[in-house]
Amino acid sequence: MAAANGSSDLYSEMEVDAFRRLFPLRYHEQHLLKSVRPDARKLGSARDTTLALGAVASAEGSALAKIGSTTMLAAIKMEIMTPTVECPDEGSIAIEFHMPPICSPLVRPGRPAEVASVISKQLSDTILSSGMIDLKELCLVGGKAAWMAYLDIYCLDADGSLFDAALLSTVAAFSHLNIPVVSLNEDGRIVLVSEDNIQLKLEKQPVNTEKRKLKLNSPPFSLTCLLHKNYILADPTAEEESIMETAVTVVLDSSYQLVSLYKPGGPVHAHTSVIQDCVALAKRRVKELQSVLNEAISDMEVE
């Protein structure tokens, strides 16, 4: 009898899995009618989120961010550059988002994913427009030397809400960033001071005498929502994104001020009331992400 029940349960599971594969939209809509999703989340709930700072030992700043299965690794390398004539007292930031084939079966070797360049541009625009980083803090000697921060973000698992996870890893990596010590050499040039010589008496006064943190002003966080009929789904998975194609990404800073709103097309119209609902969900999510970031920073300080 027990064997018969076991066979019945297995057959039932196979039927559900087959229905999910053959009729994915109907499968998800059956869950939406009950205000729940296949992974048991409520429609407005995000997945579990974790952060680990200092994930890359060779980088000046790094972080590993996970939202559900979506995983991002961000690393910052600092180099000295000559500032531009237009902004002689400012440094620069270059952001590149990478999607290696390991992150998704949809990404083919030798063919860069189209979404990668889009997310790179979104991240750059968001960081600069949010005012999180004062580029003047990256200046070393006005008109002569400044920092160039190269941020590379690698998507290790692409299971939806890629921009949200990439932005979280970006903010976390800059929170972890330690700006290196530099000094003037005999030729009057700015050079990095190695760890071995950092305690030695320098012939000339260092430009910055010790590693320092970069001050961050109201870091931005984001929440992507899917719109389907009258439903709003927060933090979608890759499966949900492939089925329900209308997405809205809301970016708020830590003071809950709107930084940007992004809706890349889709068949569902985003009316004012829908946008307001998405912003309300984003405000709640910002509070959650701030808590996750603060906890990661506290853990790093304890270590």
Single-letter amino acid code for the residue at 68: G
CA distance 285 to 185: 48
Q: Is residue 145 part of a domain?
A: yes
Single-letter amino acid code for the residue at 49: T
Say whether pTM exceeds 0.85: yes
225-253 pLDDT, tens digit per residue, is: 999 989 999 999 999 999 988 899 999 99
264 three-class SS: coil
Pick from 201, 205, 200, 212: nearest CA to 190: 205
Q: Is residue 24 part of a domain?
A: no
The CATH number of the domain holding residue 166 is: 3.30.230.70
Pick from 53, 48, 147: nearest CA to 93: 147
- In this predicted structure, what is the pLDDT of residue 106? 85
Pick from 150, 144, 134: nearest CA to 207: 144
Q: Which domain holds residue 257?
A: 46-177+214-302
Task: Please determine, for residue 1, whether its predicted confidence score (pLDDT) is greater than 70.
Answer: no
- In this predicted structure, what is the pLDDT of residue 17? 79
Q: Give 235: exposed, middle or buried? Use CB within 10 Å, 0-12, 13-18, 19+.
A: buried
Length of the chain: 303
Q: Is residue 100 part of a domain?
A: yes
CA distance 297 to 299: 5
Q: Is residue 224 part of a domain?
A: yes
Task: Quote the percentage of the chain above a pLDDT of 90.
Answer: 61
Q: Is residue 284 part of a domain?
A: yes
- In this predicted structure, what is the pLDDT of residue 4? 46
Q: Is residue 206 part of a domain?
A: no
Q: Is residue 207 part of a domain?
A: no
Q: Is the CB of residue 220 less than 8 Å from the CB of residue 252?
A: yes
- In this predicted structure, what is the pLDDT of residue 2? 46
- In this predicted structure, what is the pLDDT of residue 22? 81
125-142 pLDDT, tens digit per residue, is: 999 999 999 999 998 888
270 to each of 191, 227, 244, 278, how far by Cα in Å? Answer: 52, 8, 14, 10
Q: Is residue 172 part of a domain?
A: yes
Q: What phi and psi, each to the nearest 5 degrees, are found at residue 186?
A: -65, -25
- Provide the domain count of the chain: 1
